[in-house]
């Protein structure tokens, strides 16, 4: 047989190498040694580490390990550039972003090859996915810059943004961070990951070439310490991080109380659910993309296969057959599916996790082919025979390892899918659109792909639920993450409350009171677990009543009740609106009584406060069925529907003054959006809220939707912050306690809003809309393909 006939016979791929010449020429032109890019200039290289090619083990260049002084210089440059950059018109900034997009497109092959060499990922991916998405991101945000003032009126950029990115999508993560930051008028200090700095440095040169004003983009290379120096720098206004959940938690704790904006894109263990009526061959191809794309080093990798029992055997057989055909090899070979992992240390990490999983009972299947030589290659692996507690099921492996489990019913699929601390993405395969669209809202994840996987677009938000972080990148949500309301800087410190001294210190003196207000848990009045009450004093220290002294146990009961009531979030928005209208109406009936109670506790005429509270309930009843999402039209033949979903259980700790309005103003947006609430009312004047019980009952508020625990607000806030059953926490109080709340929230990375000792005039109409609605919700994007 001649050669061509042989190829036809075997259908073997020949080598299709991509030439590295241009990337090498660029590295050589820099003498393969880099300083930082600060204030539009290259610094002299300092102490360096090597940038390695994981496929060959060869060193590509020397990279400077940034010091705290380097970070400081970069922050100064960014601060210096901020004023004039943010003062440019959106159109002017948009033109720079457009120029960057054009340059990236023009040099896309150079970027793709350099990325592949530095990271080990196949050229097919960098060429067809990473770099085109980078360009798309800059184009998209050039448009946002242009329309910023009409789309985000009365908003301003944060200032200097510190941005820290991982190594799995080096240039793409840079684009996701830098494009929106610049569009909004921020300046940035960005640190690429230590394994993959090269395309960020090439990007710096693009910034130079397009004449981007100096100091607008600063690139500081280095390791974790350099990242920590950015996180802890006092003159940085916002931190945006993508990386491991572990480091994300360190950053959450480190920024607590600093007032820095924060967005976190963290790890995942995303389910890939295949129903029995799926197009199985397509689902297998999707699975290849879900878990073997980028060697599985993908935060949203579909790493947990959940397959319906009736098709399990058939599907697994197809997966194994497909695995045997995957081509592992030189990343610069255009017909390679799986390249090199990023570094030997990651390979070791994966092997250790596998050993642990096997010791716990897992079976591992690997196809029978030879791996190329070198330290960074792994075979694709399929893990079966695992319980939900197996390390390989619970932990993010970040490698080419798929873990498979089965389910019987759709309900079981949902329960298994959600049985993880993460919530980044999920994939569903079913030819039954009704089933798919029934399941999608039930999955706790920021992105859902139906009959497809790993779809991304700049116009569609991406980001996680739960310990996968908070904040979105892409789309309107991503844009708004780099802007804040202009009025925030006008906030003044909250006036100190003059202490009121009790007229009597003897607890037995309260015996003459005929009534002590109880707590309210799961629709029932409840006595405090502590067995103690606390006095409620009038303005002169006279006793006007008593409430329970709430403790940890009361909070736990209230959270449990709130979790049981979570179906509130999926009742029709119209029904939630109706109940809020009833609440308003029933409160209005009893306005005199509530006004008198305010007067007794605070000495103020309460009539206006009651009227404002009624109005606020009305306002949010009106919002319940209007604050919703968009339908995006990304370049793929898919629509992406942005669903606005509640956070879940929201803790609310109200400020002390204006005891009725303060609670209502925070409660109403939370309820309108479908959250269930554990409310700690004004610690000084809680009777205005404990008086609401009857109003709640006559308004048909379902049991457990509103739970009320009275007591010391800081103590109760701490318990709420530490509780993993609480998904979000709003706390009004002083700066020190606000810092405590933010720090204590790291356990499950709940989203927090704190007043940090500042005075928020909750009567202001600015709090009757988006401000709290956005904080009460998270956006889930559901991708749905079309095409016959």
Q: Site residues (CB under 6 A) for ligand NAI? A: 164-168, 191, 193-194, 223-224, 227-228, 231, 242-244, 247, 250-251, 266-267, 299, 346, 349, 396, 398
Residue nearest to ligand NAI (CB): 227
DSSP single-letter state for residue 758? B
Rounded Cα distance between 690 and 682, Å, is: 10
By a kind-dependent CB cut-off of 5 to 8 A, residue 194 interacts, out of Mg ion, ligand NAI, none, with: ligand NAI
Contacted by 267, from ligand NAI, Mg ion, none: CB < 5 to 8 Å by type: ligand NAI
Per-residue tokens: 73: 């210089």
Interface pattern 32-51 for Mg ion (x via CB under 5 A): -------------------x
Q: Is 566 exposed, middle or buried (0-12, 13-18, 19+ CB in 10 A)?
A: middle
CA dist., res. 242 & res. 63, Å (int): 21
CB 7 within 8 A of CB 14: yes
**C-beta atoms surrounding 196 within 10 Å:** 29
Q: Write down the catalytic residue from 18, 115, 125, 265.
A: 265
Q: Which is nearer to Mg ion, 112 or 619 (CB)?
A: 112
As a whole number of angstroms, the distance between CA 639 and CA 634 comes to 7
- 409, two tokens: 């019913």
Dihedral, 694, 699, 701, 707 alpha carbons, nearest 10 = -30
CB of 193 to ligand NAI, least distance (A): 4
Partner in contact with 247, chosen from Mg ion, ligand NAI, none, beta carbon below 5 to 8 Å by kind: ligand NAI
CB nearer to ligand NAI: pick between 126 and 308: 126
Asked if 549 is part of the footprint of Mg ion (rule: CB under 5 A), the reply reads no
Distances (CA, A) of 195 to 27, 52, 118, 170: 16, 7, 8, 9
Stretch that binds Mg ion, among 113-121, 486-494, 513-521, 555-563 (CB under 5 A): 113-121
Q: In 182-226, which ranges are E strands?
A: 187-191, 217-219
Closest CB 54 distance from Mg ion, rounded Å: 6
Residue tagged 């199985």 (tokens): 280
Q: From the DSSP assignment, how many helices (H) and strands (E) are in the chain? A: 28, 32
Residue 289 Cα distances to 129, 189, 202, 283, 286, angstroms = 12, 33, 28, 10, 5
Q: Are 73 and 39 in contact (CB under 8 A)?
A: yes
Query: Cβ of residue 199: shortest distance to ligand NAI, in angstroms?
Result: 14
Q: Which of 118, 333, 467, 722 binds Mg ion (CB under 5 A)?
A: 118
Q: How far is the CB of 392 from ligand NAI (least distance, A)?
A: 13
Q: How far is the CB of 72 from ligand NAI (least distance, A)?
A: 16
Rule CB under 5 A: is residue 169 a binding residue for Mg ion? no
Closer CB to Mg ion, 52 or 125, in the complex: 52
340 or 519: whose CB is closer to Mg ion? 340
Q: How far apart are the first and last CA of the chain?
A: 43
Query: CB-wise, 240 or 440, nearer to ligand NAI?
Result: 240
CB of 174 to ligand NAI, least distance (A): 11
Binding Mg ion (rule: CB under 5 A), the pick from 82, 85, 144, 195 is 195
State how far the Cα of 724 lies from the Cα of 744, in Å rounded to an integer. Answer: 11
Q: Is 265 a catalytic residue?
A: yes
Nearer to Mg ion, 123 or 652 (CB): 123
Nearer to ligand NAI, 200 or 649 (CB): 200
From the CB of 63, what's the least distance to ligand NAI, in Å? 12
The entry of Mg ion, ligand NAI, none that residue 227 binds, CB within 5 to 8 Å by partner kind = ligand NAI
Beta 59-64 vs 48-52: how paired, if at all?
A: antiparallel
Q: Which residues are catalytic?
A: 265
Applying CB under 5 A, which residues contact Mg ion?
Answer: 51-52, 118, 195
């Amino acid at each position: 047989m001649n050669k061509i006939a042989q190829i036809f016979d075997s259908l073997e791929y020949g080598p299709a190498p991509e030439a590295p010449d241009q990337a090498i020429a660029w590295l050589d032109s820099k003498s393969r040694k880099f300083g930082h890019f600060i204030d539009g200039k290259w610094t002299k290289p300092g102490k360096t580490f090597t940038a390695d090619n994981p496929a060959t083990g060869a060193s590509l260049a020397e990279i400077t390990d940034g010091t705290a002084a380097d970070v400081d210089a970069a922050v100064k440059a960014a601060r210096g550039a901020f004023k004039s950059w943010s003062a440019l018109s959106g159109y002017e900034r948009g033109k720079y972003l457009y120029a960057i997009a054009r340059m990236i497109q023009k040099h896309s092959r150079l970027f793709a090859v350099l990325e592949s060499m530095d990271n080990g990922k196949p050229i097919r991916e960098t060429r067809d996915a990473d770099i085109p998405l980078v360009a798309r991101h800059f184009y998209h945000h050039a448009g946002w810059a242009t329309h910023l003032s009409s789309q985000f009126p009365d908003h301003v950029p944060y200032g200097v943004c510190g941005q820290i990115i991982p190594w799995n999508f080096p240039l793409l993560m840079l684009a996701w961070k830098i494009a929106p930051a610049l569009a909004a008028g921020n300046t940035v200090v960005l640190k690429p990951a230590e394994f993959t700095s090269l395309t960020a440095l090439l990007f710096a040169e693009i910034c130079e070439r397009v004449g981007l004003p100096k100091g607008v983009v600063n690139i500081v290379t280095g390791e974790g310490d350099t990242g920590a120096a950015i996180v802890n720098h006092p003159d940085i206004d916002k931190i945006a991080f993508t990386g491991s959940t572990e480091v994300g938690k360190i950053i959450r704790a480190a920024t607590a109380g600093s007032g820095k904006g924060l967005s976190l894109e963290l790890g995942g263990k995303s389910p890939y659910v295949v129903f029995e009526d799926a197009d199985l061959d397509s689902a297998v191809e999707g699975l290849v993309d879900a878990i073997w794309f980028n060697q599985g080093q993908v935060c949203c990798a579909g790493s947990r296969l959940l397959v319906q029992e009736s098709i399990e055997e058939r599907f697994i057989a197809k997966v194994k057959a497909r695995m045997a055909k995957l081509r592992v090899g030189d990343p610069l070979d255009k017909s390679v599916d799986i390249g090199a992992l990023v570094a030997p240390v990651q390979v070791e990490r994966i092997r250790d996790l596998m050993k642990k999983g096997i010791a716990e009972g897992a079976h591992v299947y690997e196809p029978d082919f030879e791996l190329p030589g070198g330290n960074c290659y792994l075979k694709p692996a399929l893990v079966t025979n695992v319980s939900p507690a197996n390390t390989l099921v619970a932990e993010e492996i970040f490698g080419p390892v798929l873990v498979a489990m089965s389910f019987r019913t759709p309900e079981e699929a949902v329960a298994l899918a959600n049985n993880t601390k993460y919530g980044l993405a999920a994939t569903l395969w079913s030819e039954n659109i009704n089933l798919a669209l029934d399941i999608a809202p039930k999955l706790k994840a920021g992105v859902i792909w139906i009959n497809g996987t790993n779809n991304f677009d700049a116009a569609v938000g991406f980001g996680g639920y739960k310990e996968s972080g908070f904040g979105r990148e892409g789309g309107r949500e991503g844009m708004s993450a780099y802007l804040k309301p202009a009025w925030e800087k006008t906030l003044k410190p909250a006036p100190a409350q003059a202490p009121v001294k009790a007229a009597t210190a003897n607890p037995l003196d309260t015996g003459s009171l005929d009534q002590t207000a109880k707590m309210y848990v799961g629709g029932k009045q409840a006595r405090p677990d502590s067995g103690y009450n606390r006095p409620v004093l009038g303005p002169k220290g006279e006793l006007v009543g008593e409430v329970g002294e709430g403790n940890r146990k009361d909070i736990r009961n209230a959270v449990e009740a709130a979790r049981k009531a979570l179906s509130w979030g999926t009742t029709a928005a119209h029904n939630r609106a109706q109940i809020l209208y009833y609440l308003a109406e029933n409160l209005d009936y009893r306005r005199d009584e509530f006004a008198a109670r305010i007067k007794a506790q605070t000495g103020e005429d309460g009539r206006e406060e009651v009227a404002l509270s009624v109005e606020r309930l009305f306002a949010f009843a009106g919002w319940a069925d209007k604050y919703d999402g968009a339908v995006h039209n990304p370049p793929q033949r898919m629509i992406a529907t942005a669903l606005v979903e509640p956070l879940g259980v929201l803790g609310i700790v109200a400020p002390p003054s204006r005891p009725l309005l303060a609670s209502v103003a925070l409660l109403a947006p939370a309820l309108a959006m479908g959250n269930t609430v554990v409310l700690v009312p004004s610690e000084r004047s809680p009777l205005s809220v404990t008086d609401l019980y009857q109003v709640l009952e006559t308004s048909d508020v379902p049991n457990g939707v509103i739970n009320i625990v009275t007591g010391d607000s800081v103590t109760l806030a701490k318990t709420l912050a530490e509780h993993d059953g609480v998904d979000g926490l709003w706390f009004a109080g002083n700066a020190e306690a606000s810092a405590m709340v933010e720090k204590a929230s790291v356990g499950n990375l709940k989203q927090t809003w704190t007043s940090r000792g500042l005075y928020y005039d909750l009567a202001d109409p600015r709090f009757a809309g988006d401000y709290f609605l956005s904080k009460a919700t998270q956006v889930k994007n559901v991708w749905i393909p079309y095409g016959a």
